[in-house]
Structure 1
């Protein structure tokens, strides 16, 4: 059975995603920034209503994925805090100045998050050497990579996504995301044979998931 993760930017979306059959929620703030760490109190209030896994984005700001020591310490503090309320996993990604994977900082955060799993987010789509970067992400201990195949969207990145799934060889989950919709999820599934898929299910320019789109994504994924 293929699985669906919905990126949610407010509590309403999280409940819509759950009701529509999503297998997992990625919760972030600031859609326009591409997702940043959400408010702790919002997550604490929401968690009792959520029965599916909820992963929290750990990202101190928008912009690039190279962080100062102060920002890195903030990320560590946020992981520690969210672990106390029972979230199910974390989503983050740190690059070096040359857009390579920052082995030391990512590994430190993955170790801190244990036993909870971590997803390396779409910072991966900025790397220079995609297959070397995959090996480094695996080395850091991540369980999942969220990627559009280094292209603007999953359809354009479909060839790279297919290669990533093959090279990952079940050592890590490759999760296609970026422009994934109910209209193209079947194509992406057939071409890549990935196990997990990621979409915001936002269709109207708002910050809230469309209930019908969530249901259509799920239906087309497993139909």
Structure 2
């Protein structure tokens, strides 16, 4: 089976990471902050600086806090304002997700966010991975006109969720893009593409670096390790994953 060369989206949490991803050959960026908790909305300054520093499409994560994906009225208002800020900053897309208390997509609020976002591209993020009925959720998102779903196939990693990913690609039938993400690296991205038939992949390609200021007796949060090391985007890893993904298209 011949597969078109896949689009590779790299998740970054800073300008330096965005530049590294571009250097490594990324096709598109997802921009966020605090990747250690799955990502939250980047600041307006980070949005603008990133757009000024790279020549790639940038999709901005819209998530006002860590934790679950059921947001109160105040948080929803923040999301709407952040979408406006993303558009004003020149972003090409936003990445959204809002769930009801029963775990299904919040159709009314998601529809409003999609309306706010246009003409930017809209991705529904990994909130999809905790919905109780993936097929029903997928059809609902298609009905809302969402462009793509970022998902691990409701597993801890995209590789583990490849069975559901294959099913979702088939169920989508080209009506929406299924973009796998979570734990994707150069060792299996080619096989993942072949087994699932996806045309886009999402990864972070990070490595840990020791803090320049070294160990401190005082910690700044609940996770003391976060005061000693941090993750950074590795241009060489980006390049290696893209090469492996591209090789899958010419088998």
Q: TM-score, normalised by structure 1?
A: 0.97
CA RMSD in angstroms comes to: 1.0
The match for 2:236 among 194, 206, 212 is 212
The match for 1:187 among 167, 191, 194 is 191
Whole-Å Cα distance in 2 between the matches of residues 44 and 85 of structure 1? 5
Residue pairs, 1:1-223, within 5 angstroms: 1-204=5-208, 206-223=230-247
Whole-Å Cα distance in 2 between the matches of residues 86 and 211 of structure 1? 24
Contact kept? 2:30, 2:59, Cα under 8 Å: yes
Q: TM-score, normalised by structure 2?
A: 0.87
Larger Rg over CA atoms = 2
Deviation by residue 1:120-148 (Cα, 9 ceiling, x = unmatched): 00010001111111111111221010000
| Local SS of the residue matching 1:208 | strand
| Local SS of the residue matching 1:51 | coil
Divergent runs of 4+, >2 A:
203-207
Contact kept? 1:4, 1:196, Cα under 8 Å: yes
How far apart are residue 103 of structure 1 and its match? 0.4
Unaligned ranges ≥5, structure 1 = none
| Local SS of the residue matching 2:201 | strand
Contact kept? 1:9, 1:207, Cα under 8 Å: no
Q: Report how many residues are paired.
A: 223
Contact kept? 1:4, 1:198, Cα under 8 Å: yes
Whole-Å Cα distance in 2 between the matches of residues 44 and 25 of structure 1? 14
Whole-Å Cα distance in 2 between the matches of residues 157 and 3 of structure 1? 20
Contact kept? 2:15, 2:53, Cα under 8 Å: no
How far apart are residue 85 of structure 1 and its match? 2.0
Deviation by residue 1:147-191 (Cα, 9 ceiling, x = unmatched): 000011111100000010111111000001011111110110110
Whole-Å Cα distance in 1 between the matches of residues 230 and 109 of structure 2? 34
